[in-house]
Amino acid sequence: MVLMRARTQRGERRTDALSKERIVEAAIEILDTEGESALTFRALAARLATGAGAIYWHVANKDELLAAATDQVVAGVLTEVVSGAEPRDAIRSMALGVFDAIDAHPWVGAQLSREPWQPAIVRILEGIGGRLEALGVPQKAQFNCVSALVNYILGLAGQYAAGARLLPRDTDRTAFLGTVATRWTQLDPAEYPFVHRMAAQLADHDDREQFLAGIDLILVGIRSVR
């Protein structure tokens, strides 16, 4: 008994022991395979073959669990970016990384616009903001610039995530945009002429390209600040 305790304290934890990492991992699996609404403490406890209350020993509450899951996904995406890359390229690839992460895990999009100080948000701010110096943006203007870029990403993230939450689970981003376009077409053309015109473009465009075009637009604006 004494020996076992010594062993586990040295970190060779039993495979079946609960830990925050194992809980977050199981949460991500549920979120990815069954969607946001399927993540309940009961479902999570069942998957981990434990009681619902046990989870609270490792995680304060559901918010912390979601923030931890989101941070894990986002951290993975941002560290992929080559550190030596040209700053403008680095920003583009980080933005695209977050975009793709939200495509693969829509719940990430929802969570990002839920807690301003969560680790994932801070990571994104640091990753993108940290390249502005090298881009020649003066210190005083850097906050405005990172705010424009990151809030654009978060705004889009929220919209896609909402679509994924509301539409059937197998709907992809293109089908989602098709749904939006259809709804726009049903509006009164006299009252919504602009939205009607956009509906035509929305149906058959590459939204990843579209997303990058927005980033580039903001980067042009940032260039002028220099």
Point out which residues bind a second copy (CB under 8 A): 113-117, 122, 125-126, 129-130, 132-133, 139-140, 142-148, 150-160, 162-163, 166, 179-180, 183-184, 187, 191-195, 197-198, 201-202, 205, 210, 213-214, 217-222, 224-225
Instruction: Determine, following the binding rule CB under 7 A, whether residue 40 of this chain makes contact with DNA.
Output: yes
Give me the helix-helix angle, 62-78 and 119-129, nearest 10°: 30
How big is the site for DNA, counted in residues (CB under 7 A)?
A: 19
d(CA 88, CA 224): 14
Give the C-alpha separation, 21 to 4, whole Å. 22
Closest to DNA by CB, 43 or 96: 43
Contact stretch for DNA (CB under 7 A) within 26-34, 45-53, 169-177, 191-199: 45-53
Q: How far is CA 195 from CA 160, 182, 183, 201, in A?
A: 18, 11, 10, 10
Measured from the CB atom, the residue of 118 and 177 that comes closer to DNA is: 118
Distances, alpha carbon 124 to alpha carbons 43, 64, 138, 206, in Å: 31, 18, 20, 24
18 binds DNA (CB under 7 A): yes
82 in contact with DNA (CB under 7 A): no
Q: In angstroms, rounded to a whole number, what is the distance separating the alpha carbons of residues 85 and 14? A: 42
Cβ proximity of 160 and 106 under 8 Å: yes
By beta-carbon proximity to DNA, the closer residue of 45 and 156 is 45
* Binder among 6, 47, 51, 221 for DNA (CB under 7 A): 51
Backbone phi, psi, residue 189, to 5°: -65, -25
Of 40 and 182, CB closest to DNA? 40
Nearer to DNA, 20 or 88 (CB): 20
**SS3 (DSSP) at 82:** coil
- The residue whose two tokens read 């705010």 is 147
Of residues 216, 125, 120, 210, the one with CA closest to residue 159: 210
Query: Among a second copy, DNA, none, what does residue 195 contact (CB within 5–8 Å per kind)?
Result: a second copy
Residues that bind DNA (CB under 7 A): 17-18, 39-43, 49-54, 56-58, 61-63
